[in-house]
Chains A and B, each alone.
Chain A
Amino acid sequence: RKEVEQDPGPFNVPEGATVAFNCTYSNSASQSFFWYRQDCRKEPKLLMSVYSSGNEDGRFTAQLNRASQYISLLIRDSKLSDSATYLCVVNTNAGKSTFGDGTTLTVKP
Chain B
Amino acid sequence: NAGVTQTPKFQVLKTGQSMTLQCAQDMNHNSMYWYRQDPGMGLRLIYYSASEGTTDKGEVPNGYNVSRLNKREFSLRLESAAPSQTSVYFCASSGVGWGPIGYTFGSGTRLTVV
Of the candidate stretches B12-20, B38-46, B62-70, B77-85, the one touching chain A is: B38-46
Contact residues of A: prevailing secondary structure: strand
Q: Which residues of B contact A99 (CB under 8 A)?
A: 42-44
**B contact residues, total (Cβ < 8 Å):** 20
Q: Which residues of A contact B104 (CB under 8 A)?
A: 46
Inter-chain residue pair count (beta carbon < 8 A) = 51
Docked pose: A31 CA to B97 CA in angstroms: 13
A58-109 residues at the B interface, CB under 8 angstroms: 87, 89, 91, 95-102
Known A46-B102, A102-B42; further 8 A-B contacts with Cβ < 8 A = A4-B42, A31-B100, A34-B102, A44-B90, A95-B50, A95-B98, A97-B103, A100-B42
Binding site for B on A (CB under 8 A): 4, 8, 31-32, 34, 36, 42-46, 49, 87, 89, 91, 95-102
